[in-house]
Amino acid sequence: MPRVVSEAICLSRINMELCRASDVMSASAETIHSQENVAKLAKMLLRTEHSGFPVVKYDEETNTEVSYGLITRPVHCSIN
């Protein structure tokens, strides 16, 4: 069953697992994988002024990366 963005909206909340990364961000956005190590994220945050990065994971069903969430500088600081 194909996934569409309208299926992802429920009670004014978005289920990010039902969206493709390209549905919710620009083509030039830098992403981090859900299984990435914290050191890579720290380097990304030091290298840029971005306040956070989209988190993606690989969906075996569609063979694409899908949006999984967002990690921000405050969240990153709390896991150090």
Domain boundaries, the chain: 5-79
- Report pTM: 0.58
Question: What was the pLDDT predicted at 63?
Answer: 92
SS3 state at 62: coil
CATH code 3.40.50 for 5-79? no
Question: How does pLDDT run along the chain (80 residues), one tens digit per residue?
Answer: 344 444 444 334 566 677 776 776 666 778 899 989 888 888 888 888 887 888 999 999 999 988 888 888 776 555 55
How far from the centroid of its chain's Cα atoms is residue 45's Cα?
Answer: 15
Distance in Å from the first CA to the final CA of the chain: 40
What lies within 8 Å, CB to CB, of 18 at 6+ separation is 3, 5, 7, 8, 66
Question: Tokens 């909206």, residue?
Answer: 9
Nearest partner of 7 among 23, 27, 29, 26, judged by Cα:
23
